[in-house]
Amino acid sequence: MAEKKLDSRIKEKEVNGKTRYEAQLYLGVDPLNGKKRRTTLRSSKSAEDLDRKIKRKEADIKKSGLQPKIEQKKFKELFDLWFVNYKMTVKESTWASTDLLFSVHILPIFGDNYIDKMDVMFCQKEVNTWAENSPKNFKKYKNYTSNVFDYAVSIGVINSNPMKLITMPRGEVLDIQKKDIPFYNKKELNEFLEAAKDGDSKIYTFFFLLAYTGLRKGEALALEWSDINFQQGELTINKTLTRGENNRLIVNRPKTKSGSRTILIDDDLSSVLKMYKTTSGKVVSLNKKNSLVFSDSEGNHINPTMTKTWLKSVYRRYPKMKQISAHGFRHTHASLLFEAEVSLKDVQERLGHSDINITANVYTHVTENKNKQMLNKFANFMKNG
């Protein structure tokens, strides 16, 4: 009887003085991600025993439907195609932040998988994980991912979007409270401005401007002298400094129509700006019509992160002073407007909010206090006639 021929992949090894048998098997290509799959089979009994294991395993491989070659497109390929079109519909600052979002939160999970192999269960699992780990942002991640699936449907790569069939988690943020942004009252603001006045005139003027107008720091850093009408006492906000691709500084129009606005400025702010214009003329030519109000030594835009350094320079000299952020000066301005009994509608327009509810929600701490004052006035009126 002829000797049975064993699989040529079987290797004999000595392990701790005992004979072992093993074989490396190629399983084919994983249909989910296209990566080659291999496994190692072993037997401590005999080469014949391992040979039988190999035959059983290969029968299972054949039955599992693994294909040696697949032509499907991966999610990352479809994202790249979708992103080319997306970039043409939004500002650079928007698509740059979207690109970062995909790179950090979506592509590490979906990118290397074939888009037609990710089903509802796969998507549901990942959305549930997002909801648990990022309750504030998971809906944004889900919607952006769904946009890529929709694009794949539109060009015929897949038949349906599995993201549209998932059950949306509630993603409640039960233990996270909104953090109030510190701001100054009238006395604290005057103390800060007096302290800042002793230092760099640019720093003093910048924070005086924020406190007296409620501008965002990006709006202030994009401001040009031509935006200020000293004769009419008006300041026009029609652009903002933001970040684009690779964190480069770019100037954009405000996000909303109401963000473009013209506001009145008082005599005190006008005087501070005029004085600064005179001193800054030593560095930046005032003959240049659209020269920046705040610029570096070469007349270029200042990095928004520099405002933190400016504040630290003041607080370093006055360590006991209450410390707030640059955005805190916007809250300071709104708070003082409410204290001066300016209407909610007027505050909304001055700050450039698109919806009055944004103003009411952001400055709840102020509006609640005003409601209490109104109630006290009513109660006193009823008691005293």
Write out pLDDT tens, residues 47-67. 888 888 888 887 877 776 555
Only one residue has tokens 């109660």, namely 379
Show the DSSP H helices in the chain as ranges.
Answer: 47-64, 75-87, 92-101, 107-110, 120-133, 138-154, 186-197, 201-213, 217-221, 267-280, 306-317, 326-339, 344-351, 356-362, 364-384
Cα-only R_g, the chain: 32
Q: Please tell me the predicted confidence (pLDDT) of residue 282.
A: 46
The neighbour count for residue 15, using CB atoms within 10 Å, is 10
pLDDT in tens, 239-278: 999 888 888 888 888 878 888 999 999 999 999 999 999 8
Confidence at 196, pLDDT banded by 50, 70, 90? very high
Q: Is it the case that residue 172 has pLDDT exceeding 70?
A: no
The closest of 131, 125, 127 to 173, measured between CA atoms, is 131
Q: How, if at all, do strands 228-229 and 36-43 pair? A: unpaired
* Residue-level pLDDT at 294: 94
Q: How sure is the predictor about 364, in pLDDT bands with cuts at 50, 70 and 90?
A: low
Delineate the domains of the chain, giving CATH numbers in brackets: 10-64 (no CATH), 75-164 (1.10.150.130), 186-371 (1.10.443.10)
Q: Residue 297 corresponds to which tokens in the numbers above?
A: 């030594």
66 Cβ contact list (under 8 Å, min separation 6): 27, 28, 29, 30, 31, 37
pLDDT of 286 > 50? The answer is: no
